[in-house]
Amino acid sequence: MIVLDLFSGAGGLTEGFYRQNATFVGHVELDNHACNTLKTRQAYWNLKKQNKLDIYYDYLLKKIDRDTLWQKANLNKNEIINSEISDNTINSIFNQIKTNMKNKNIKEVDVIIGGPPCQAYSIAGRARIGCAIENDPRNYLFKYYVEFLKEFKPKMFVFENVPGLKTAGKGKYLKELIEEIENANYHLELKELVATEFGVLQNRKRIIIFGWNKDYFKTFKYPEFEKIDISQYKVSDLLKDLPKLEPNSKIEGLNKYTEKSNKYLQFSKIRSKNFNILTQHITRPTNERDRKIYQITINKWFKENKNLKYNELLKIDKSLVTHKNTKSFLNRFNVVKSNQNFSHTVVAHIAMDGHYYIHPDIEQIRSLSIREAARIQSFPDDFYFEGPRTSIFKQIGNAVPPLMAESIAYKTFNILTDLHTQKC
C-alpha cells in the first residue's frame, strides 16, 4: 500500500498501516512534538526492516541521543511534514508530497488516511468551548481532506473521527462532508466502531469512514470486522507487570518489569515475551488533598462498586471540596476499573487533568503514568513518545488505538489486493 497520512498525530492509525507493510509518501501534522514522535517511530520501522533494532533499543536505554538514532536509521525527515493545513500551506504540502513520491519512484497514492482534530466535534469539546464552537475553524478542516482527495485521487481513503461528528452543528458538518466527498468522485460508508471489538481493553467509540474512488470501484461494501472476545481479560492485565510508583516520579530502564509478560500483553502486541525495556513509566504530581479524594474514589469503587459523586465529599470531608459547583459535573473523579474487561475512554483531556484516570491500586494513590495510558490505548511498550509530559498525554489521548488501526489497515490492504487481482 502506498499511503498518505493526514492529521497524523502521534501515529496510532499510522502504526496500524506500518504493520501491514505500507509505504508512506508523507505524514502531515501540525504539532511539533507529535512530528518528532512520528520520526522516532519511523526510525523504529526502518531499523526493524534492516534487522538492526539494537540501535533503537540503545536509544530507549539512553545510550544514544535522538539525533544519532535518526541518523543511524536513515530517516527521511521530508516525509514528516510539520505544518498546519490551510489555504496558505496546502500547495507547498502538495509539492513536498509529490517530491517524496518522485524520490521513491511512486506514481500514485493507494489510500489516504487520517482524521481532522476532533475537539470541534466531540461532545466534551463542545461543552468546554461553548458558543464559540460555532466559529471554530476546525469545524471545516475536513474540506482540506477533500482537497487532498482531489489532488492525489487515491483508490481509497479512511477517515476517522469521534461519534460527535454525527451531531455537531445539528448534523450539518457531516452532511457537508458527505456531499463534498461524493462531489470529489468518491462513494463513502460510515460506521461507529468500538475499540473493545478489536481486542482493545477500552470502551472507545469512533466513526470510521471508508471511501472508494468511483473510477476504480463499481461495487462498494463496508468491510466486516470479526469481533474479538475480550471476556477472558481484565484491565488489570494491562497494569500488573508495571512497578509501583508515587506521584511525580518515574521508573525506566532494563529489567524493571515486576512480572513476565502475560497472555493479553502478547496478544495485543503491547509487550512480547522477550521485551524487557521499560520506558516512560512517569507520573504527574498530585497534591495531598487530591490524593485523599483518590483514596475515597478507589475505596468506593472496590467496596461499593460505585463511582464517587463530587457532592458526596460534602458529607465525607468538607475540606476536600474546592469547587463551588456541587450540582453538576459530579463525575470529576474516576478510577480505572481494573476488575472489568475494559477501561473508560482515554481522551486528550488527560493531558490537563489526571482526576478522571486514577490508578486502581490503593497503595499507589495517583493518576495513570504515561506508559499505563499508552497501554490502555494499545500502544506497544517499544513505542516512544517525544515531548514533555503534557504533550505526550495529549498525543496518547488523541490517537487511534494501534490494535484497532491494524485491523482497519488489514481490511484496506485486502480491498486493494482484490482490486488489483480484478484488474489483472
Domains and CATH numbers, the chain: 2-226+401-423 (3.40.50.150), 236-398 (3.90.120)
Task: Give the distance from CA 340 to its chain's centroid.
Answer: 22
Query: Per residue in 302-311, is it b (16+ CB within 10 Å) or e — as a string?
Result: eeeeebbebe
What is d(CA 43, CA 55) in angstroms, rounded to the nearest whole number? 10
pTM exceeding the 0.95 threshold for the entire prediction: no
Q: What is the pLDDT of residue 272?
A: 96
Q: What is the pLDDT of residue 126?
A: 38
Q: What is the pLDDT of residue 107?
A: 97
Q: Which long-range contacts (CB under 8 A, 24 or more apart) does 63-69 make?
A: 66/36, 66/40, 66/386, 69/40, 69/43
Q: What is the pLDDT of residue 325?
A: 87
Residue 80: CB partners within 8 Å, gap ≥ 6? 8, 26, 27, 29, 35, 38, 39, 42
Q: What is the pLDDT of residue 134?
A: 52
- State pLDDT tens for residues 263-299: 999 999 999 999 999 999 999 999 999 999 999 999 9
Q: What is the pLDDT of residue 132?
A: 47
- Residues with a catalytic annotation lie at 118
Mean pLDDT by 10-residue block, N- to C-terminus, for the chain (424 residues)?
Answer: 97 98 97 98 97 98 98 94 96 98 97 82 48 53 94 97 87 91 96 97 96 94 96 98 97 97 98 97 96 97 95 93 88 96 94 94 97 98 98 96 98 93 72
Q: What is the pLDDT of residue 80?
A: 97
113: phi then psi, degrees, rounded to nearest 5: -125, 160
Q: What is the pLDDT of residue 121?
A: 54
Residue 153: CB partners within 8 Å, gap ≥ 6? 108, 109, 185, 213, 215
Q: What is the pLDDT of residue 133?
A: 46
Q: What is the pLDDT of residue 327?
A: 87
